[in-house]
Structure 1
Amino acid sequence: MFYAPGKFHRAGGTHWFEGLGDVIRLTIGFGDNPRIQPLKDGTVKPDSIKLEFQASRNLFYHNLAIDDLDCSEMDISETILAKERTDGTRWDWTAVPIFLSRAYGWTGILVNDSSGIETLADLKGKRVAVPDYDMTFALWMRCVSGTKGQRIILSRGS
């Protein structure tokens, strides 16, 4: 998920980039990802846009705490939480649904052979470890498993 802050939006239907000059400078932040690498290393250069990459060890925390990037990767659950908690002075983001991962997370669910778990619905009442409770995959798992979220006990791992 990308976001672009609302500070670039203009009323009256004009595009946010009109009148900003010949070259638009954007400070952006993304995790290490082969689909972003061509932009980082200059193999791909967008016309009239100067990209300045901001390195951050914990990108989502950086977005929430500092909120200084023009465009950034952000997971949907953190975006929803930020939108619900904003007081209007920060996190004025426009979410754009672009998915960089392309990974199919369901193949990464590991279960003990003797657990009796064969389908996602079998997770009802089970304790499931996830790296972060509000990560997008955990959100999707709760939504598509056929059980209500509170019926799957998610435990934050490390």
Structure 2
Amino acid sequence: MTRVPLTLACGDYDRVWPLADGRVRPEGIDLNLVRLEPEECFSRMLTNAEFDASEMSLSSYAIAHANGDDRFVGVPVFLSRSFRHSTLYVRKDSDITDARDLAGKRIGVPEYQLTAAVWARALLRHDFDVDTSGIVWCTGGLEQPGRVEPRTPQLPEWVRIERVEQPLSQALVDGSIDALMTARVPAEFRVGSRMRRLWPDYAAREAEYFTRTGIFPIMHMMVVRADVHRAHPWVVRSVYKAFSEAKRIAVEQAADRPALRYTIPFLLDALERQAEILGHDPWSYGYAANRETLDTFAGYLAEQGLVSEPPAMAELFAPSALADSRI
């Protein structure tokens, strides 16, 4: 049987390495794995559909699908998940000490529609009772000027967006914005001189959030081009099974070494604490296991003006990927 060539772009994660080094081979597929930064994957796929399959921003895909973009079908492989209590920064000398102090302020965010920003804004509104309607969202590049959204979302008038030409990190330091919301840690914060996190105890807050809600926020998923799916409907299941196996290997090997696999001195403690708080499989793939998280996110998209009504999240995925086969 001739194997179908498939070029797939995604980030360089440990849960992808078994696919990259050939330990896992997708059934019937000759895989060309292109490892790129996630932002580049999203931009190139959304703009030109350059790859047969790609890692994709959950928010970008859900918004595009809600607006009639049918170029892709989803695969419930959630390559990136992250709590977002760590994403808010202020100046060290700022008088902003509590989430409610952000009401009416100017907050920098690389793109309004970023998945991380959707989750972080929902935290402000639902967990900290912040009136987000008066916030001005200042968009632009985090470290470099000129960043633009692959597709400008159609937003209601009550969403206040302002373009910032200088890097957002510099805008915070200069005082032209009051806070910064970013998934990437700003270079200025690493220096440690002029920025601080709004919540230095973010890890404890994230553990409490999961214990209370059961949600480990999904950031990215996988998509396959619709024309590839039409030509080879089985590809979606093959990709899903291969990524699931690669993740299983990565999780199993993280701690199963006589010497630490990663340059994290307290790795074993972190893994044991993770299991205690998040359970045995916090990085679950599949639609059914993540339905509540996906539906919650759909509500946030509508609430923040990114879609007119909460999208039916099951419709994002290829029907063959909605349920696992059982033996």
Q: TM-score range by the shorter chain?
A: 0.5 to 0.7
- 1: distance between equivalents of 2:54 and 2:12? 12
- 2: distance between equivalents of 1:35 and 1:65? 26
Larger Rg: 2
CA contact (8 A) 1:56 1:62 kept: no
Correspondence for 2:21: 41
Determine which of 106, 115, 131 is the counterpart of 2:95.
Answer: 115
Amino acid in structure 2 at the alignment position of 1:81: I
Alpha-carbon distance change, 63 to 23 in structure 1, aligned in 2, over 3 angstroms: same
TM-score, reference length from structure 2: 0.35
Percent of pairs with identical residues: 32
1:26 aligns with 2:9: no
> 1:74-103 CA deviation, whole Å, 9 max, x = no partner?
1122112322444xxx64322344332343
How many residues are aligned here?
134
CA contact (8 A) 2:9 2:35 kept: yes
- 2: distance between equivalents of 1:48 and 1:30? 20
Q: What SS class does the counterpart of residue 95 from structure 1 fall into?
A: strand
Alpha-carbon distance change, 31 to 130 in structure 1, aligned in 2, over 3 angstroms: same
1:138 aligns with 2:121: no
Determine which of 74, 90, 94 is the counterpart of 2:56.
Answer: 74
Correspondence for 1:152: 135
Amino acid in structure 2 at the alignment position of 1:99: F
CA contact (8 A) 1:30 1:72 kept: yes
- 1: distance between equivalents of 2:133 and 2:73? 29
> 1:83-126 CA deviation, whole Å, 9 max, x = no partner?
2444xxx643223443323433322322235333323x443222
CA contact (8 A) 2:12 2:36 kept: no
For structure 1, which segment, 57-66 or 41-50, has the greater mean C-alpha deviation from structure 2 after superposition? 41-50
> 1:36-88 CA deviation, whole Å, 9 max, x = no partner?
232122233234332122466621111112214332111122112322444xx
Correspondence for 2:107: 128
For structure 1, which segment, 144-153 or 68-77, has the greater mean C-alpha deviation from structure 2 after superposition? 144-153
Q: What SS class does the counterpart of residue 117 from structure 2 fall into?
A: helix
1:103 aligns with 2:82: yes
Shift of the alpha carbon at 1:136? Answer: 0.9
Shift of the alpha carbon at 1:137? Answer: 0.6
- After TM superposition, the runs of 4+ consecutive aligned structure 1 residues lying more than 6 A away are none
- 2: distance between equivalents of 1:67 and 1:157? 24
Determine which of 47, 60, 76 is the counterpart of 1:65.
Answer: 47
CA RMSD of aligned residues (A): 2.8
For structure 1, which segment, 101-110 or 135-144, has the greater mean C-alpha deviation from structure 2 after superposition? 101-110
- 1: distance between equivalents of 2:131 and 2:113? 15
CA contact (8 A) 1:28 1:54 kept: yes
- 2: distance between equivalents of 1:22 and 1:156? 47
Q: What SS class does the counterpart of residue 113 from structure 2 fall into?
A: coil
TM-score, reference length from structure 1: 0.66
Alpha-carbon distance change, 151 to 140 in structure 1, aligned in 2, over 3 angstroms: farther
